Amino acid sequence: MIRRQENVILDVITRIMVPFIQIFAFYVIFHGHYSPGGGFQGGALLAGSVFLQRVVMGRERSLSGFHVKLGVPFGVIGILVYGGTGLVAQVFGGNYLQYEWLPFGLDPVWARNTGILLVEIGVAFAVMGILISIYDNLSAREGEGEKR
Amino acid sequence: MNDIFTTLIAERWAYLLTVVMIIIGLHAMMMKRNLVKKLIGMNIFQGAIILLFIVHAYKFGASVPVHDAVLGDHPEAYMNPIPHGLMLTAIVVSVATTGVALALLTLIYRRFGTIDEIELLQKLREEP
Amino acid sequence: MDAAMTFESTRPLWAVLVSLIAIPLILASTRRPNLRETWTLLAALIKVGLVLSMLPWVLGGRTAVCTLWQFAPGIELALRVDTMGYIFALVASSLWVLTSFYSIGYVRGAGEHKQTRYFATFALCLSATIGIAFSANLLTFVIFFETLTLATYPLVLHKETDIAKAGARKYLCYTLPAGLCLLLVTAWCVSLTGTAEFTPGGFLQGVGLSTESARWMLVFFILAVGVKAGIIPLHSWLPAAMVAPTPVSALLHAVAVVKAGVFGVLRVTGYVFGPEMLREIGAWTALAWLAAFTLTVASLLAMRQDNLKRRLAYSTVGHLSYIVLGAALLSGTSWTGSLLHLMFHATMKITLFFCAGAIYVRTHKENISDMHGIGRQMPFTMAAFAVGSLGLAGIPGVNGFVSKWNLAVGALHADQVVFVVILLISGILNAAYFFPIVHVAFFRKNKAFPSYGEASPFMVVPLCLTALLSIVLGIAPNLGVHAWDLARGVAAAVTGAAP
Amino acid sequence: MSGAHGAEAVVDHAVSMGQSHLPILVILPLLLGCVLVPGLGLWRRRWAYPLTLVAFALSAYFAFRTLFAVLEGGPLHYTLASWAPPVGIELAVDALGAFVAAVVSIIALLVAVYAGEAVRRENPVREVPFFGMMLVLLLGLTGMVLTGDLFNLYVFFEVSSLGGYSLMAIGHKKAPISAFRYLIMGTLGASFYLMGVGYLYLLTGSLNMADVAGIISTMGLNPALLVSLVMMVVGLGLKMALFPMHLWLPDAYTYASSTSTAIIAPIMTKISAYVMIRMLFFVYDWDLFLNVHHIGDIIKWLAIAGVFVGSIMAIGQKDAKRMLAYSSVAQVAYIGVGIGMANPLALVGAMLHIMNHAAMKSCLFLVTGSVAMQTGAQRLKDYAGLGRRMPWTFAGFTFAAMAMVGLPPTNGFFSKWYLVLGGIEDGEWPMVGLILASSLLTAVYFFRLLERVYSKVPGEEQKPAGAEDPSFRMRLPILLLGVGVLVLGLFNAWFVSRVLSQALPHGMSLPGF
């Protein structure tokens, strides 16, 4: 459904903006656990950057940036990171997601920071992957959408 | 009686806003023929509820709910973080729901060539 | 019932289970009919053996109890062999043996289809019947009662013709609401008493039930069990169900199902409400008059039937009401009479149905008007038929006389001469609709009548046996299983009259 | 906030000490499963099914462990992350929750056994997303049952709904439309529930169920509280298709693929009913609201109306699945009746019916599914004579039908038994009469079908080729459920005395114990 359009200005601006968006996204992710922001927002920003590419460059060319097939794996990996963190904490004697039990040899406070950070990263990945795959599925042409 | 309304409008106007949004959303969900408009109505409805929580959690002149040396330990200096967290989740949920709904709509459109409810019902009646 | 005389035993449970266990075996050996029938006969023999083995306990006044597990809060799924249950179990199981032999001859002679389903459901019916007989409390009774309803449905439906379907539907239309009424009153009793345990003289004594609600309860009870007992406004499923194969009509509509209904009436009057309570709420006259009305009208209706089985059906309706009447009169002798009639009517009526079946299999005639001179062709069959009709008409020498005599005397004890008159009238009516058949069969010539000869021994032997049994019990009611003592024991336990 | 961490961490160690991990272990296999199935399914499609089965089996195993643990040692509490309740989220499992969780997981496991072949035959290309969505659905449902937090319940609510919507969209050509309708309705219901939660939070400042219950009990009657309760009842009523709000259900069940229906129909509306019980009896002051303020009466009479509407509509149907869908409306309404009566026996009847109806309805839908797959018969008139062709399948069907009618000794009889007892305890004779009369209507459409199924077709004399019982793996769940219907009936007292008597809310106790 997306019509690819030849427009140099849009192309260039996109090329310039996308890295900044993504860097800001990473900033939001990595400071999420002690200041406003966090995994979801960061992931949404990352996804937004990809959407920008999709919209402006059109589907085919933007695939070089982020391939359709990557959407679900990103989501899976993200959730696995999240669930894995919880499980590790549980395996090492805590409750599910009880970060201070994470085996980093850190005192509870820092272990907790790290744990939350891990979770944030996982969330970011998941949100990004899933938002992108939703977008791709909806914008897919006849047949492609039916596959999944 | 009168002063109740004045206070309501003066201090609780945000709640009135949520009520208005809820009514708009419901109307769209029930009355609109176009399925996409129904979906939009649904989102407005959810937005209204999210707003309800946020309005309740908001404090004038309070800061983000992250401990800050300058502000010290006064609870009134910080907003209530829980509703914000909750509503973040609610937003995620509504995004997911919207995604599924849009997927369904594209599927419907591909199969029946319309997303107008009346026409769809006609098509349903015609087909076995 | 004092605790010293009750003891645990699993034998009643096995008596129920044996035919249930036979079902999978029957189903498994669909391909080999002989093996299949062997299972049926084996189950029947074991069952009657088990039941007979419990006779000493009952005569000795000892009660076997088999408590299985808690079934609903405070209520056990429990079996108990009290005398009255034993009587019913004895009738059902012993006649099942004969019926099994008979139905082998019948289904093969008539070339019925789906014989496996037939025999399997038959076995299920017997389990349910024995279960009804031995139920220790009302909930257990309900379970087996409904199971019997369901198990009979396929048998009524058996022929799968439109008439059969109509009959089966009618059967359900009557029995399912009845089941719901039963569920309602059972729940009511449970919420009143906690455990609706059957006790001679009634367990509703002194639970503080107002007369009004007690009457309502009785109404629902009668609606519940009266359908199977064929009390007149509720009877019309019975003739309709006569489309079933004759052995089914014989066992289920002369012995098991309808007797289960009557048995229910006896349980209700004797073990749920109890004579005193029925007298207090003054309900017994209503019940008695209902029964009297039924047995008169049923006899009159029976006269108009040309189809032999339908006529037998209506006579069944009538004779069931003899039993109800005896129960309603609440005197010791009348109870003895109705319990004796519970047994004796079974032997006589099953004889008649067997004869009808034999005639049908041999000649495919169902209407009495076609049976001129049939007696010449099938002497044994029609002789047995004659014995049965004499018995039901209450001629001395056949067991029907004994039970009717007791009923009449019981009516006198209850100072209800009017019912004696009604009994006599109905006896005459019985004669009026049975003897023509015998007369037609023996004394009418029929020129163009091919020679048929008797049906297969599988069928003739059982019907001769039942006829013989009727005569023997008519001469010596206490012979063998001490039917007389059993009946009087129950009557004494319920009405408190000296045995 | 980092300053406080150390102190809290210590506190939370105390919180988490000696907590059994069972509750979370019920959920985890499903969570990991619904991630791994699409993940691995992308490059190894045939791994999807075994993974699903393993996940379901594990969660069922842990659900039963949980049930027995709860029966042994009382309710389990499990703190998630490092925040002590009521601030943090906790899983709180009492007898009722463990019971429902066990029921849900075992039913789902049976359906999953069936689904393996069925899905491959019905829609081969969609295998991976299908199983993924099944896992999502069950994840949401078990989460709803086990959580002790009002908002967390909402989240799981939506998770399960997402699974449900997408499962319902797979199947008949018209499925997406009914699924979309269900989506709008379901989201509306969930949003109403969320609004109710919002009111509660505004009033109490807490989201932990036990905590909220404690605060409410001191509040007495409060208009805002009443509003929140009404909103919850409306929202949950929408999800459990309580009478005036049932219109989305028949289409959704009819057009969804048979496997989707088989897993959604028995479980989903029941869980909404469970949540309603949880809210009305364990969070709100049930005596005050249901009895004193007659909200119970409203629910009760709506529900009994639903019973009749559902049954009558079911009688009128020509399509097998649609008939079963309408009978679902009726059967769920029985649970509503039990809730509305709000006395111990009736409530026990309602709780028992959650399990009983799950068993019988899943059996029935599995049968219709396999019939459609083996013979292509969808409409009732095509069922004629199938009894001889598919004896095992229809043996199961017969038992389940008996249970639906409520004939002893099947389990359906006993849920009705407790409802009637409850009605008599309250002296509500009209209600009792209606309950009993309604089962006659059920009898009408099931015996009509059974008669058709078992009577021979005039045309054919000997058994026609094809059209036989499905493979063992599809037949096994049907038979297990068919037998289970009997077993659950005969041993219902065990559930009532061991489980449900402990599951009753505060201030209720069962007579007879």
Domain residue extents for chain A: 8-147
Read off the pLDDT band of C488 (50, 70, 90): confident
The predicted model gives D401-418 an average pLDDT of 90
Question: Which pLDDT value is given to residue D10?
Answer: 40
Q: How far is D48 from chain A (nearest CA, A)?
A: 14
State whether D324 and D257 are in the same domain.
Answer: no
Contact B97/D4, CB-based, under 8 Å? no
Instruction: Tell me the nearest-neighbour CA distance from D29 into chain C, angstroms.
Output: 36
In chain D, residues with a C-beta closer than 8 Å to the C-beta of C179 are 407
Tell me, what's the pLDDT at D67? 93
Regarding whether C291 and C211 lie in a shared domain, the answer is no
pLDDT in tens, D214-254: 898 888 788 888 899 999 999 999 998 888 888 888 888 88
Residue D417: inside a domain: yes
CB of B52 within 8 Å of a chain D CB? The answer is: yes
Residues of chain D with Cβ-Cβ distance to A73 below 8 Å are: 39, 42
**Looking at beta carbons, which residues of chain D come within 8 Å of B86?**
151, 207
Q: Same domain, yes or no, for D71 and D126? A: yes
Among A34, A131, A138, beta carbon nearest to B103 = A138
Structural domain spans, chain B: 2-126
CA-derived radius of gyration, chain B: 21
> Which residues on B lie below 8 Å from D2 (Cβ)?
67
From the number of C-beta atoms within 10 Å of its C-beta (0-12, 13-18, 19+), residue B6 rates as: exposed
Q: How many CB pairs under 8 A join C and D?
A: 75
Q: Which of D155, D174, D195 is nearest residue B49 as measured by Cβ atoms?
A: D195
The verdict on D35 touching A (C-beta cutoff 8 Å) is: yes
Length of chain C: 499
The verdict on D269 and D309 lying in the same domain is: no
What pLDDT sits at residue D373? Answer: 86
Beta pairing, strands C6-8 & C63-72: parallel
Q: Cβ contacts (< 8 Å) between B88 and chain A: which residues?
A: 40
CA distance D198 to chain B (A): 6
Provide, as residue numbers in chain A, all residues whose Cβ is less than 8 Å from the Cβ of B103. 134, 137-138, 145
Contact C184 D436 (CB under 8 A): yes
Residue D365: pLDDT band with limits 50, 70, 90: very high
- Encode chain A (148 residues) as per-residue pLDDT tens digits: 445 556 788 888 888 999 999 999 999 888 877 777 788 889 999 999 998 888 887 777 777 777 878 888 888 889 888 888 888 888 887 778 777 777 777 777 788 888 888 888 998 999 999 888 888 887 776 554 444 3
Mutate to test the interface with D, among A31, A80, A96 (most CBs of D within 10 A): A96
Q: Is D45 on the interface with A (CB under 8 A)?
A: no
Contact D399, D487 (CB under 8 A): no
- Rounded CA-CA distance D30/D139 in Å is 5
Query: In C285-392, at which residue ranges do the beta strands (DSSP E only) sit?
Result: none
Whether D76 and D36 map to the same domain: the answer is yes
Whether residue D359 lies inside any domain: the answer is: yes
Is C179 near chain D, with CB under 8 Å? yes
Q: Cβ contact (<8 Å) for D9 and A148? A: no
Are C206 and C315 part of one and the same domain? Answer: no
Judge whether D170 and D137 are in contact, CB under 8 Å. no
Closest in C71, C183, C190 to D493, CB measured: C71
Contact (CB<8Å) D180/B101: yes
Does residue C411 surpass a pLDDT of 90? no
Which pLDDT tens digit goes with each residue over D300-339?
999 999 999 999 999 999 999 999 999 999 999 999 999 9
Residues of chain D that touch chain C, judged by Cβ-Cβ distance less than 8 Å: 402, 407-409, 413-414, 416-418, 420-421, 424-425, 432-433, 436-437, 439-440, 443, 447, 451, 454-456, 490-494, 496-497, 510-513
ipTM greater than cut 0.90: no
DSSP-based three-state secondary structure for C287: helix
Task: Give contacts of B66 with chain A, Cβ < 8 Å.
Answer: 34-36
Rounded CA-CA distance D462/D478 in Å is 26
Is the model's pLDDT at D159 over the cut of 80?
yes
Residues 6+ apart with CB under 8 A from A38: A28, A29, A32, A120, A123
> Does residue D15 surpass a pLDDT of 70?
no
CA distance D12 to D247: 47
Q: How distant is the Cα of A8 from the closest Cα of chain D, in angstroms?
A: 37
Structure confidence at residue D153 (pLDDT): 93
D257, D390: one domain: no
Number of folded domains that form chain D: 2
Looking up tokens 């609780």 gives B12
Q: What is the CATH number of domain B2-126?
A: 1.10.287.3510
The contact set of D with B (CB < 8 A) is: 1-4, 87, 151, 154-155, 158-159, 161-162, 165-166, 169, 173-174, 176-177, 179-180, 183-184, 187-188, 191, 194-195, 198, 201-202, 207
Taking contacts as CB-CB distances below 8 angstroms, the residues of chain B near D144 are: none
Query: Using CB atoms, which residue from D4, D180, D194 is nearest to B35?
Result: D180
Chain C and chain D touch, per 3+ beta carbon pairs within 8 A = yes
Q: How sure is the predictor about D356, in pLDDT bands with cuts at 50, 70 and 90?
A: very high
- The nearest CA of chain D is from the CA of C88 a distance in Å of 22
Check contact A-C (3+ Cβ pairs < 8 Å).
no
What is residue B27's predicted lDDT score, i.e. its pLDDT?
92
Cross-chain residue pair D9–A100, CB shorter than 8 Å: yes
Pick from C441, C333, C326: which is nearest to C384 by CA?
A: C441
Sequence-ordered list of residues with C-beta below 8 angstroms from that of C494, at least 6 positions apart, any chain = C84, C200, C201, C270, C271, C274, C275, C335
Q: Which domain holds residue D455?
A: 294-460+467-513
Chains B and A touch (3+ CB pairs under 8 A): yes
Q: Are residues D265 and D404 in the same domain?
A: no
Tokens representing residue A134 in the block: 């939703």
pLDDT band at C158 (very low <50, low <70, confident <90, very high): confident
Q: Is residue D220 part of a domain?
A: no
- 10 Å CB burial of residue C7 (0-12, 13-18, 19+) is exposed
Are D490 and C150 a contacting pair at CB < 8 A?
no
SS3 of C485, please?
Answer: helix
Mean pLDDT for D123-139 is 86
Smallest Cβ–Cβ distance between D2 and the set B42, B67, B96 belongs to B67
> pLDDT (tens digit, 9 = 90+) per residue, C254-301?
778 888 999 999 888 888 888 888 888 888 888 888 888 988 888 888
D2:A109 CB<8 A: yes
Instruction: State the angle between helix axes of C379-393 and C332-363 in degrees (0 to 180), rounded to the nearest 10.
Output: 160
Rounded to whole angstroms, how far apart are CA atoms C150 and C153?
5
Q: In whole angstroms, give the CA distance from residue A88 to residue A86.
A: 6
* Neighbours, chain B (3 or more CB pairs < 8 A): A, D
Asked if the Cβ–Cβ distance from A95 to D32 is below 8 Å, we say no
Q: Looking at the structure, do residues D260 and D314 belong to the same domain, yes or no?
A: no
Among B100, A130, C383, smallest CA distance to D169 is for B100
Token pair belonging to D67: 């049930």
What average pLDDT does range C416-432 have in this prediction? 87
Domain-located, residue C365: yes
Q: State the Cα–Cα distance between residues D354 and D99, nearest whole angstrom.
A: 10
Q: Which residues of C touch D437 (CB under 8 A)?
A: 180
Q: For residue D104, what pLDDT band results from cuts at 50, 70 and 90?
A: very high
C10 close to D (CB below 8 A): no
How many domains are there within chain C? Answer: 2
Domain presence at residue D308: yes
Does residue C274 lie within any of the structural domains? no
Say if the Cβ atoms of B102 and A40 lie within 8 Å.
no
Contact C71 D432 (CB under 8 A): no
- Provide the pairing of β-strand D76-79 with C75-81: unpaired
Question: What pLDDT is recorded for position A23?
Answer: 92
Whether the Cβ atoms of residue D397 and residue D367 lie closer than 8 Å to each other: yes
Q: Do both D380 and D261 map to the same domain?
A: no
pLDDT digits (tens, 9 = 90+) for C107-152: 777 777 777 888 888 888 888 999 999 988 888 999 999 999 888 8
Nearest to C83 by CA among C99, C60, C100: C60
CB of B83 less than 8 A from some CB of D: yes
For chain B, give the percent of residues with pLDDT over 90. 26
Using a 10 angstrom Cβ sphere, with 0-12 exposed, 13-18 middle and 19 or more buried, the burial of residue B29 is buried
The answer to whether residue D31 neighbours chain A at the CB level (below 8 Å) is yes
- Of the partner residues A35, A40, A138, the one whose CB lies closest to the CB of residue B106: A138
Q: B39 contacts in D (CB within 8 Å)?
A: 184
In angstroms, rounded to a whole number, what is the distance separating the alpha carbons of residues D511 and D240?
Answer: 29
Angle between helix D48-73 and D95-122 (nearest 10): 170
Q: How far is CA C292 from CA C285, C345, D195, in A?
A: 10, 17, 68
- For an interface test with D, the pick among C76, C146, C217 (most D C-beta atoms closer than 10 Å) comes out as C146
The domain containing residue C75 runs over which residues?
A: 1-266
Q: What is the pLDDT of residue D513?
A: 52
Q: Do A108 and D42 touch (CB under 8 A)?
A: no
Least Cα separation, residue A95 to chain D (angstroms): 6
Decide if C7 is inside a domain. Answer: yes
Nearest alpha carbon to residue C103 among C252, C211, C219: C252
Q: How far apart (Å, rounded) are the C-alpha atoms in residues C51 and C58?
A: 11
Question: Is pLDDT above 80 for D125?
Answer: no
Q: Residue D86: is the preceding peptide bond cis (ω within 30°)? A: yes
For D487-506, what is each residue's pLDDT tens digit? Answer: 998 888 888 888 888 888 88
C427 at the D interface (CB within 8 A)?
no
What's the rounded Cα separation, in Å, for the pair D353 and D420?
13
